[in-house]
Structure 1
Amino acid sequence: MNAQTEITVENGVNTEALVGAREAFARTPEAAAFTFRNTCSWISGTESSNEINGYFGLGQEHTRPESFTINSDHPVVFAARDTAPTPPEIVLSALASCLTGGVASVAQHRGIQLRSVKVNVEGDVDVRGILGMDPDIRNGFGAIRVRFEIDADATEDDIRALVAQSQKRSAVFDLLANPTYVHVDLA
């Protein structure tokens, strides 16, 4: 007789709620339409402050108990004050955070215990494009590299599958890898 030991995995992700949400959205797809918002205010020079709070989802408006603030600036080498990360650095941190959250969620769902996850992200920008020096040089990232260091109770193939599934389901990865229509207007 083989006694099986049930291993409890705790990565801090409520997969039952996520599976329940999938089932609910299958029944009412209109509830899955979310609109996230950010309000950015100029401070001085190239420094600005972003306030994040309300969003629309599940068919209604939501307000968080407190607002989140993300400031941005540019480095001293661009004659700025360097009081906060640059907007491209914030994009890289968003990508890393989205992929990391995905790895934790997928690991929890697949019964894989994580011990640590670290993601290093680098993005290459040729600033001659931003400065208008050459119209053929892109303003944004020419390349982004993501490198995971994951320690988990899993095989290397299982860990690769976690990363692949996280990448497949990442909203920020999708935003960076695929064209997104951006409409800019004046109020």
Structure 2
Amino acid sequence: MDEQGSLRRFSVEARSTDIFGRVLCSARDQHFVVDGPVQNGCPGEAVTPPEIFLAGVATCGVELLQVIARDESIPLRSVSAQIEGWIDREHPVRTDVMVFNGARLKLWLDGVTREQADGLVQKFKSR
């Protein structure tokens, strides 16, 4: 990650392996395997690109809710997230690139009132 004022840059490298459809990714000094899906003739054993994307969104939600609660001295004990996304190839959102048709993120916040939880989620959504 490279920071300059409010600008933050992130970098991930990906390269093919000796196994068709298996990709080795590196972010800083962390390495992980991503597999293309079985329907593409790939192994499908490791997480897939859509799952990695959704994991990033869910992780962002959990982490940012913790940060917002800490900054506002709200006694948030824990956060859980579950996300699902869908791609409908017969009804694409765009014709030039494949993207999710939609996604649904569910959040569970423990240790706060309903009003505090609603406020935290609204602040997360506005970031």
Shift of 1:45: 1.8
Match of 2:10 in 1: 36
Q: Residue by residue, what CA displacement relative to the aligned partner does 1:22-78 show, whole Å, maximum 9, x if unpaired?
A: xxxxxxxx533332211111113221111111xxxxxxxxxxxxx111321123343
Distance 1:74 1:105 in 2: 33
Match of 2:110 in 1: 151
Q: Which runs of 4+ in 1 moved over 3 A?
A: 127-130, 135-138
Distance 2:30 2:89 in 1: 29
Q: Residue by residue, what CA displacement relative to the aligned partner does 1:53-110 show, whole Å, maximum 9, x if unpaired?
A: 1xxxxxxxxxxxxx11132112334322123111111010000111111100111122
Decide whether aligned partners of structure 1 residues 34 and 115 sit closer, same or farther in structure 2, where only a CA change above 3 A counts: closer
Distance 1:103 1:33 in 2: 21
Alignment match of 1:123 (pick from 63, 66, 85): 85
Q: Which has the higher contact order (CA 8 A, sep 6+)?
A: 1
1:1-187 correspondence to structure 2 within 5 Å? 30-43=4-17, 44-53=19-28, 67-127=29-89, 139-152=98-111, 154-169=112-127
Q: Is the 8 A contact 2:34 2:49 kept in 1?
A: yes
Q: Whose helix fraction is larger, Structure 1's or Structure 2's?
A: 1
Distance 1:115 1:122 in 2: 24
Q: Whose strand fraction is larger, Structure 1's or Structure 2's?
A: 2
Q: Is the 8 A contact 1:121 1:145 kept in 2?
A: yes
Distance 1:136 1:168 in 2: 29
TM-score (norm 1): 0.58
Distance 1:75 1:127 in 2: 15
Query: Equivalent pairs: percent with the same residue?
Result: 24
Q: Is the 8 A contact 1:129 1:139 kept in 2?
A: no
Q: Unaligned 5+ residue runs, structure 2?
A: none
Q: Considering only CA atoms, is the larger Rg found in Structure 1 or Structure 2?
A: 1
TM-score (norm 2): 0.83
Q: CA RMSD in A?
A: 2.5
